[in-house]
Structure 1
């Protein structure tokens, strides 16, 4: 360009050449800045070149511009002639907030004159700046207090692990390099990962509680700001067992229910569990500890067991008004209570009372209950079925029939809902109690079609259920027999199917509620 100045005394002619070339910079820069510092060290160094040099303005670098949103850096020109520049942080950078920054930079020349006309810009170069960490944070323990209990007499590979963390960003300063136990003269070691082990077997008879202090160091050797406390409790040798129960329990008859073991608990010694089984046995086979149930009268037993009132007595003590048990063989318990003996040659037929049958109203919901002692005598022949109770009931719909019998070690219940139309169903249970020659309490609950048998209070579902459609129907006449059963095959007054066997069945009197109990 051509400029002409004409002062009053003389004239000066100044000429600026045209700006022909753009500045040039490297395509990429790698930078490092120390945390909490502001100067970025670049590789390669920041220089801008211009082919218009050494011309003034056109060959000079006037500055650098940084492009990118929220970039915490700025670029300054140090020497316009050489094009040397510098990148610095606007404020101290934080490695924990951002470990790296990436942005672009561009150089521009001074144009064609002092007014910066026709300025030219270089291409955009990429700058990567890594923030180098400073060890400003101390390790911090996750817990202030660590507690654990161990069993005496063992050497543990690891009793517990303490852990500290560091807030610095670099691997050098953020990692915990080692831990240290500060308390002297204790039988414990700690490794670089914070695992604590014992150096000798601990004894419950010695120190039962150890307290000590540990600290941590990061890899810059900076110590934890606060140390941690460790408590190790020594427990005696543990044996898995039930705790909090007594073998002997005092119980006053008639005192109601009594919790056997209200404070019982299972000591597992911190071992993993997968199955727990418990069995409670009553010691009854000793003369001083045995069960004296046989010595209680029927009334006493019913009171002790909390039986309901309002039942029907099918085997009463013989009297002028109840004489059907007079011909039965009896034994006497120690309190002179009657025990009826059925040996296969006698039975009892419960008579009609006041024009109504004694078990009137029984249909498909009732309960049979009996104390029974039964044994099986070895025999070469086929064992016969021994009838306990047999009944035919008349209702508005017709006749129904049921019978309870024992056959070897089996107990069977036959139920015929309606003789005229329905088919009989037989429910079978095979139980060792039926033939062990011991007293057992049987309660059979019928809620047809469901039948449940309780033996000494334990429920049993039928093992087999048979549809006995080929059984000869009994006579359609109300009857109730104990120890035998009337069938249509026998002429009156001969009962068929007695209780049989040399020892046979002994029965203690019981009552009936909504059914037959004797």
Structure 2
């Protein structure tokens, strides 16, 4: 008989003994008295009991899933008579619990890596879990517990580095790594030791950070006496390795790109001229300097003091060369050369026809014919040379204009130009290099323009001018040059040789290459024409080092520019037909320091003062500059300090206020004060919001033109609506001088509440930059002041409470001077535009002064307009006449006496008060007020006048000169008004 199901399924946890059976084992206890487990070959760790008609299955002991996950056996029901029912199969599954943590296969891991490399996988760690199910028995995650390490690990246990490792920073990295099963049970940590192997990195060693050079020593100094190449056993298989090292001298920041010794060059040129001239009469063969210091024709030009003067031209300046220096001549008839060095200020403009002359020979009167000229136009250097009428047929074209399109003209840098003219041959040399003709876009460069010869003009000579061109018909200079010119020289009746041209362009400071006897076979040394770059190439590492150790620096200029010259060393190593390996670039610098016996006067003219020679000695520099020590990890700092807020009044801002008068700039470089660091390259003042050119501007206060010190600095200042930009290598003191001279002017201050000025300065080509210094300029808007109570009380009466007096009562003469003083030194008598009202009533005495003292006004004439004043005066006069008329009529009707009328106006000096209550028109003195009964008085004024008053008041605030016109114009007629008392 079947009393059991065919099969049963049960679940049991590892840490429990009760089995959950599905379906339940139900029997009838009246028939069934127990159960029996049929054992086969294996021991069955279960037992079954009959409890309340249910078969309860239990484990004899806790089970282990990791040993056995499933059990299968049969059970039968035992009848009370001892017989057995049919059997039923039982399937029991053991449920796993997370009793084990992951464990790593190794107790620790150790590996090695090369420094400087990024690896895809450095090492792989692995952990396992003894739990029997995937949830608890699989490892799903790995994690590095050690913080701030440049490593990462993925879910597979693969460790890699996130950045190249450095043996110098750390020889090894010890990581603590843990694993997690899928239920996030964490394992015990395992140590992973990653050792960093030092890899030899090819580089240049033994270069000093700074090389000192003493000015005027006329001796060379070795740059790299201890230089060494670390090539890390680099070799080429079966072939020689090629090593190339280049040493560059950077002097572009100096005024002319380098120190040039013009004195020696001129001396050499003069000797050559004398040798070539011999005993022959060649008076016109010399090189004539047209732009000299301390001459009559250049005394009005602006130039920088220094060993080599730099003349500044602004487009409107120039000079006429006297005929005693250069005689009028026909330049087209003879050979000649023009030598000049200039820096053209390229300004973006749509006008491509503006001529900017360097030198020009033109008619001296009547006409404006240009015979010879060198000028800049549309970024082209142009030579104009017109043949005279007697040089050929007037109907034959001949070359008359040469136009060179060269980038040097408009790059805002110094360049040396030489033009040799030997018609029909014209040659241009730029920085000592001959310009080669070319064709660009089907246009030849230079472009040569033909023209007719000049027509005959009897009685007309030529005038030679520099920096502009003389206009004979207008008797003035025109077409001026915009930029800086250092020299203009003219060689007449002779052209300069190529060697003479290079003499004027060669730098006095240069690199000296090693002597030839140090060279080995298959080695070579190359130097450029400027001698500021040397390239050494060879295969012998030891000999390359020896050659580099022999490179020297020399500055043969007498009083060279004091300061820094950067040196750059670049080295490459390569095998034939393979890509070269570039070693890290080495940067150092030469510091040219003043000689011990160099006086302050010599130093001021020798370039201690930046590229143009600002006057300052090094001894003064050391005594004035304060420095502070810096820590090893700090860089030089540019610190700008000063007040952050500046309050200004209306009169001050109209006349102009110095916005940066309180600033102070300091550079902190460390314990040792370094003079070359106590200079700036640029400063920028930005204005927020931008200036309105209609009524705002920033100017430089030059004290009415008497202070020329600003023009002696090598600081170029550009002022725009965005602010002020200053560029030039100069001292902090000179930069502060210019910054403190900046004046901000606002003709209409009521438009703004404040202005923000932001200042930043930089040094060494913007490598060091200051923090942003911010100054807020706040305009104090004045409030309208009430009428002086003292003046009101002097008249014995006060105005009605509902009438606002906008102009105070005129005080006595002594008080007038006091009022003027207050008005000029204080803001008490100034009123804001918004406080003006069209219903203001002005007393007659405040408008009229005694005629004995002259008609005029004091006090606040700025606050009223002529139309409104006339209207109020007429209204008041009408009411006074009406009151007086009514009073006279009453007197006549009452017949109580006669009243004596008095003049009411500005012609009464003294006064006496008549207290008769029946007197209709009492005499009014100059310091009294007019009394009337206004109890029933109502005045209605056109409200549209409010806008008119505001506009007129705003216009009256423009300038002090306009204020005087208002006083003399608007109120002049008012002071002439008098009462007509002929009928009183």
Give the TM interval when normalised to the shorter protein.
0.3 to 0.5
More strand by share: 1
Q: TM-score, normalised by structure 2?
A: 0.22
Higher helix share: 2
TM-score relative to the length of structure 1: 0.38
Tell which has more relative contact order, 1 or 2 (C-alpha 8 A, sep 6+): 1
